[in-house]
Amino acid sequence: MKTPLFIEQHFHGCYGIDFNKASVDEVLELSHRILREGVGYIFPTLVTDSLENTKRQIKVIKDAAAKQTSDMAKICGIHLEGIFLNLEKKGIHNSDYFMSPTLDNYKLLEDDFIKIITLAPELADRELLEYLHSYGVKVQAGHCIGSDLTGIDGTTHTFNAMSGITHRGSSTALSALINDNIYTEVIGDGVHVSDDALRLLFKIKQMNKIILVSDCLPCTHSDIKEFVFADEKIYFDGSKATSAQGTLAGSTKLLSDIAKILGQKDLFSRQYISNSYDYHNLSPLGEIEWDEDYNIVKVSY
């Protein structure tokens, strides 16, 4: 089987590198190594942080993008997953830094390299959503409880950190499943979403609106077992990464690992990779050749 290279639109780092702390050289190193894992385009994702550090890391990633060479996964922009979230679904994020999702607050950190933003739509004012769309920023609902997805392009790690499916009333997850106009991120690592929930998503949601993401953490493909992420001590037991209180953080798998997990359960489709190209209006850079057990045989770019 052959597929296009992955587009990773939601991940916080890997190989021991954290985008909220990384230097320019570390971002370049990561983009070089991850291309060999079959990832052609990346949107480094920043977790909730202080305005000062968020702006500093936006500049770091932007500077790294300007120094890239052809043997690196192309940095397309930043996914800002944080600051404008709902306290009720904060997950691992540090709510001390949360701000109301208004246009004035967004302008405190605005940068033309922000290409995706996750926010709680039930808290966002319409002026902000219209402003973001006018500049081509993808707006995704995440860490939220709202069911009105008007003006939303997609949902962030669907099912996780959002109001779940209910048979009475409405919810974010339910709206994500039945709304044909939006894309749905999903983490298929076998930890964040059960197999039955994945089957439900894959069965109900339009196939061309499903996007695989890893949401992976800096410990991914490294020897790190304990580290600080989002100002929390995180413990990686070899399968999942959680805080001391047991809150599940991001995943510990790259997209190639997730494809293998899904493939061996007969839940993988190359369409889930192609959808990202449509979402971001990008052209394939190369392809991945897989064996029958969903191991990467060759990456061409």
pLDDT of 47-75, one tens digit each?
A: 999 999 999 999 999 999 999 999 999 99
Stretch 224-232: mean pLDDT: 97
**pLDDT value at position 233?**
97
Delimit the domains of the chain by residue range.
2-300
Stretch 234-263: mean pLDDT: 96
Tens of pLDDT along 153-202?
Answer: 999 999 999 999 989 999 999 999 999 999 999 999 999 999 999 999 99
**Interior/surface letters 135-167, b for 16+ CB within 10 angstroms, e for the rest:** eebbbbbbbbbbbebebbbbbbbbbbbbbeeee
Q: What's the rounded Cα separation, in Å, for the pair 296 and 288?
A: 7
Q: What is the mean pLDDT of the chain?
A: 97
Q: How large a percentage of the chain has pLDDT more than 90?
A: 99
DSSP 8-state class, residue 218: T
Q: How large a percentage of the chain has pLDDT more than 70?
A: 100
pLDDT band at 261 (very low <50, low <70, confident <90, very high): very high
Is residue 128 over pLDDT 90?
Answer: yes
**pLDDT value at position 170?**
95
Tens of pLDDT along 74-92?
Answer: 999 999 999 999 999 999 9
Length of the chain: 301
pLDDT band at 105 (very low <50, low <70, confident <90, very high): very high
**pLDDT value at position 46?**
98
pLDDT band at 109 (very low <50, low <70, confident <90, very high): very high
Q: What are the phi and psi torsion angles at 83 (to 5°)?
A: 80, -45
**pLDDT value at position 271?**
96
**Interior/surface letters 271-299, b for 16+ CB within 10 angstroms, e for the rest:** ebbbbbbebbeeeebebbebeeebebeeb
**pLDDT value at position 56?**
98
User: How close are the terminal C-alpha atoms of the chain, in Å?
Assistant: 16
**pLDDT value at position 42?**
98
Domain at 2-300: CATH code: 3.20.20.140
Compute CA distances 257 → 66, 260, 298, whole Å.
29, 5, 15
**pLDDT value at position 166?**
87
Is residue 229 over pLDDT 90?
Answer: yes
**pLDDT value at position 277?**
98
**pLDDT value at position 260?**
97
